[in-house]
């Protein structure tokens, strides 16, 4: 499982925090935790959802999967733009591709429900941030001392 955490701007105004756990062992599945800083909602977007959206958008599965990963992980080039929306009842989360200011199309959406244990969900978010910070410190230390760590490539230039 791969995890990402990002701050996103909602098209309806405001900021949300998005924790994404992506599982691709037997199936493609995105487990989402969305927080406004005080409450947490959880949802899931899986290969059945991707297949349904693929048919609607007339895209191949891999193309939609890539766009979905880009949108949900916020790991995309600066030339791309995505919009995010948490509806007013806080029951649905949507992500849209916005190729320009006047055109957007929905890449996906999922039903969300309040987390059963919001404190535990917030701790999961904080744990991810702390773990990621520790990993970055270790990588920085490896670069500074010149001793490469697993997964870190150093140039010999």
- In this prediction, residue 132 carries a pLDDT of 80
Residue 78 predicted with pLDDT over 70: no
Beta bridge partners of 114: 41
pLDDT tens by residue, 104-135? 889 999 999 998 887 888 888 888 888 888 88
- In this prediction, residue 156 carries a pLDDT of 44
Lowest-confidence region among 41-45, 145-149, 152-156: 152-156
């Amino acid at each position: 499982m791969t995890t990402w955490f990002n701050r996103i701007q909602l098209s309806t105004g405001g900021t949300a925090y998005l924790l994404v756990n992506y599982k691709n062992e037997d199936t493609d599945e995105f487990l989402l935790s969305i927080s406004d800083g005080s409450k947490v909602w959880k949802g899931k977007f899986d290969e059945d959802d991707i297949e349904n959206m693929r048919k609607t958008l007339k895209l191949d599965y891999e193309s939609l999967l890539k766009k979905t990963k880009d949108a949900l992980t916020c790991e995309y080039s600066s030339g791309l733009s995505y919009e995010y929306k948490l509806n007013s009842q806080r029951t649905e989360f949507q992500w849209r591709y916005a190729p320009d200011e006047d055109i957007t199309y929905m890449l996906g959406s999922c039903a969300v429900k309040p987390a059963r244990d919001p404190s535990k969900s917030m701790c999961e978010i904080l744990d991810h941030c702390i773990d990621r910070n520790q990993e970055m410190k270790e990588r920085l230390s490896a670069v500074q001392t010149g001793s490469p760590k697993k997964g870190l490539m150093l140039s010999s230039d």
